[in-house]
Chain A
Amino acid sequence: MIHGDNTLVLLLAGGVGSRLNVLVQSRAKPAVPFAGFYRIIDFSLSNVMNSGLSRVGVLTQYKPLSLMRHLGTGEAWDFTGRTRGVTILPPRTGSKDSDWYKGTADAVRQNIDFIRAHPSKETVILSGDHIYRMDLDEMLRFHRRKEAEVTIAMMVVPLSEIHQFGAGITNGEGRIVEWEEKPAVARTNLASMGIYVFDTEYLLRLLEENREEVDFGMHLIPRAIERDNVFAYPFHGYWRDVGTVQAYWEANMDLLKPEPEISPQVWGIRPNPYADSFQADRCPARFVEGCRVDASMISAGCVIEGTVVNSVLSPGVKVAKNAVVRDAIILHDCKIEEGAVVDLAILDKRVRVGRGALVGQGEDRSTPNRSFPKHLYTGITLIGKEAEVPPQAVIGRNCVVMPGRKAEDYPSMSVSTGESI
């Protein structure tokens, strides 16, 4: 561990993540719950903690309240103490610059005062959007060994997916010699994970050179590659951008495999058990006589009387007698009442599925949602926070029930595949 250099970490947590649809209606993407009682940002925060880094700024912009509540003092990730700390950095007004964050680089530029106030040799910039485990200390060592100005964590992705990423071409020693941001035509399969180590002085120079440039991947990185030493730090292992409903569902399902590639506990990922008092008040999960549970993840505070198969349940979920939950992600304190069936669905917090209701009905999984065809097209149905599914109602595939909908908001007790409430 590199001690005494007070490496500064900037965590970009402003992302809207709009493709997560109702899950990000009241929270930023990094604050979306994952794997029972974690939030997506816990993975980045815990990676920072487990790498021995402890001076963190979190840049927020979009719906930051649940994120701020979750971060608290940072105690959950051991960020409290004389030289440790986590600081929330929302956009702010000042004497001259006052604007929303217009991009990743712009967000960092607007916080140059924070960077200067915490003198560091290197600054690590990462996003709070991904599910992965990585030793940032090792990356820092690599950065120093290569005497790089910038080091970018990169991994091999299928050629067909490279268009979503910053793509780099490296020379024999790992130096990046060419860069294309989201290339239409694939020339390499080496993708940027959006994790950067900068020499702090270099970062400050780069940010100040051209104040019109607002994005790292689009503007600053290509310029740095042209002139200076930018290295690719190779990453191998599990890494997922859970920015779409499908990817979010799949990553949750990855937890359930017999030999999972992803295990929050083994990875040392910590949630904040004191935020929203969600864990301190949860008793052991209770499995009542007659229940059936198979290949699932069940959090404390759940009461299972019915059947749960291949699903991830957050704390406090109640599955009543004769109810069935299959291939589903059920967030905190949902109630699945007697005889109801939830099949291939994501339920946000405190949803109530009434007696005998059916969520995710029908064989047709491919008719996309009419309002959000790009969000829902694989059969997953989404139920927003605190919504109600009335007793005996039948909801098809690829449907969306917006947060807070009550029985009287349903035009009929049958919602066909692809429709929304």
Chain B
Amino acid sequence: MRLRPKVLAMILAGGRVGELDVLTAYRPKSAVPFGGFARVIDFALSNLMHSGLELVAILSQYRSFSLITHIGVGAAWDMIGRYRGVSILPPSQGSGRSSWYRGSADAIHQNLDFVRYHDPEVILILSGDHVYHMDYREILAYHREKDADLTIACLRVPMSEASRFGVAEIDDEDGETGGRILRYAEKPAEPEFNWASLTVYCFKPSVLYEVLDTNAREDDSFEFGRDVLPRIMAEQRRVYGFKFRGYWGYTRTIAEYWRTSMDLLGLEPKIPLADWGIRTNLEHRAVRDCQPLKVGHGAELKNSLAYNGCVVEGCVENSILFPGVHVKSGATVRNSVLFFDNVVGHDAVLDTVVSDVNVTFGSGVQVGEPGPWPMADKVTVIGWNNHLPDGMVIGSGCTLHPHLRPEDLSMKIGNGEVCR
């Protein structure tokens, strides 16, 4: 028996996305709250834990404070021990050339000394930005079986959406399990094939070292999808596609974030958090100090999730409440996601809102448009630490940036307006 882990997992968690703007003003996308108590990166971390992969590195660059606090010592995912651990790898200065991470591939390239030190048999590179449940042991087994240089997990998407992803053409070498990747195209304008890459890569280390070195030397862009995968394909390496068939949620825009969140609800949620065994760090934001949810007299909860520390005295429908949310009597929250410690005042009405931490809605505040099941592009997003005065009216599809001063707020904000 060999105790030292054979697999090193590296999570790309550095990015922010323009479209998620307000929610990533102070945190990387991977640290965005999701699922009523967790963060997006918890899905990758919990998957790793359940796959028995507990040697993990996290590459982070953009406003990583929240992420670093969240990861803590890694104990929440059982990642502390003799051969278990989480290392956070921020950009660092060295004796030679040093720079910010210029892309996902560059982030790994700059940390090859760390990778070589651990001397893994396989390097598993993941994105910290996706909502899914996967047992990585299956793709690792397939990768070994095929003696591949690179194995990529792929999901078949409708051809009409394929242009938004890196897509592969996979042959039928192993039928339902996977096959050789014949062609790969990053966000093709006119896609010819539709197996979308999930950003789950199993690399043979020597191949990764080589291709990253070449990429750093010869290219002027340093992304896995855009640069490294096409290069590997061009070099005629053994690249395999592992066919994944489960749920895959992404959160690149507010509309996608909202839609993916709604997949947590329903009689048979597409994202069954408990079955997936999603764990989060209860130390972060002192979630462990919360008491159970309190439901007041006359309150209503319908098709919703609510975590410890919430107080619900009003009506909550098709919504997700993170710890510390207080919905006061007479208030209605519909089709919304309220992050930690939001307070919804008496008789306020929220419809299709995503609200970041510490937002206070005064009495009688109205946000969004009531109506039947709403459209994702009507989501109003509110940045953190905003206090919306009593009686304020905000339309649908609005954007309120974080921490607005009272003088920046008018009492009425029309549909689709942006407040900075």
Interface residues of A (CB under 8 A from B): 35-37, 255-256, 258, 263-265, 268-271, 273, 279-301, 304, 308, 312-313
Contact = CB atoms under 8 A, between A and B. Distances in A.
B189 to A, nearest CB: 40
Interface in B299-328: 299-309, 316, 320-321
7 contacts: A35-B291, A258-B296, A258-B297, A293-B299, A295-B296, A297-B295, A313-B292
Contacts of B304: 286-287
Contact of B37 (A269, A284, A297): A284
Contacts of A270: 288-289
Contact of A300 (B302, B307, B320): B307
Interface stretch (B108-116, B123-131, B210-218, B277-285): B277-285
Nearest to A315: B292
Interface in B259-296: 266-267, 269, 273-274, 277-279, 282, 288-296
Contacts of A295: 295-297
A16 to B, nearest CB: 28
Contacts of A255: 294
B35 interface: yes
B292 A300 contact: yes
Given A286-B305, A289-B267, A273 B279 contact: no
Contacts of A35: 291-292
B364 interface: no
B68 interface: no
B76 interface: yes
Contact of A281 (B277, B297, B300): B277
B308 A299 contact: yes
B23 to A, nearest CB: 19
Contact of A37 (B36, B292, B294, B295): B292
Which 3 residue pairs across A and B have the least CB separation, nearest first?
A: A284-B36, A36-B292, A265-B291
B371 interface: no
B289 A265 contact: yes
Given A258-B297, A289-B267, A284 B290 contact: no
B317 to A, nearest CB: 9
Given A281-B277, A291-B301, A300-B308, 12 more contacts: A37-B292, A255-B294, A263-B291, A273-B282, A279-B282, A283-B36, A283-B37, A293-B300, A294-B297, A297-B293, A299-B292, A299-B308
Contacts of A304: 301
Nearest to B305: A284
In this complex, the interface size class of chain B, counting residues with CB under 8 Å from chain A, is: 35 or more
A281 B280 CA distance: 8
Contact of B288 (A273, A283, A296, A301): A273
B309 A265 contact: yes
B417 to A, nearest CB: 32
B96 interface: no
Q: Is the interface of A mostly helix, strand, loop or mixed?
A: loop
Interface of B: 35-37, 76, 266-267, 269, 273-274, 277-279, 282, 288-309, 316, 320-321
B295 A283 contact: no
B307 A287 contact: no
B275 to A, nearest CB: 9
A291 B300 CA distance: 9
A284 B324 CA distance: 12
Given A35-B292, A273-B288, A288 B303 contact: yes
A289 B302 contact: yes
Contacts of B288: 270-271, 273, 279
Contacts of B291: 35-36, 263-265, 269, 297
A284 B295 contact: no
A257 to B, nearest CB: 9
A173 B10 CA distance: 68
A256 B296 CA distance: 8
Given A35-B292, A265-B290, A294-B297, A280 B302 contact: no
Nearest to A280: B279
Nearest to A271: B288
Nearest to A304: B301
A301 B274 contact: yes
B68 to A, nearest CB: 20
B13 to A, nearest CB: 21
Contacts of A282: 274
B346 to A, nearest CB: 14
B355 to A, nearest CB: 16
Contacts of B267: 288-289
A295 B292 CA distance: 13
B289 A268 contact: yes
A304 B312 CA distance: 15
A273 B320 CA distance: 22
Contacts of B294: 255-256, 296-297
Contacts of B320: 284
Contact of B301 (A271, A287, A312): A287
A293 B301 CA distance: 7
A258 B328 CA distance: 12
A283 B35 contact: yes
Nearest to B324: A265
Nearest to A295: B297
Contacts of B293: 285, 297-300
Contacts of A265: 289-291, 309
A297 B292 contact: yes
Contacts of A291: 301-302
A282 B306 CA distance: 12
A273 B36 CA distance: 18
A294 B295 CA distance: 6
Contact of B307 (A269, A285, A296): A285
Contacts of A300: 37, 292-293, 307-308
Contact of B299 (A286, A290, A294): A294
Contact of A296 (B279, B295, B309, B316): B295
Nearest to A279: B282
Nearest to A37: B292
A50 to B, nearest CB: 11
Contacts of A279: 282, 288
A190 to B, nearest CB: 32
B329 to A, nearest CB: 10
A287 B292 contact: no
B35 to A, nearest CB: 7
Nearest to A270: B289
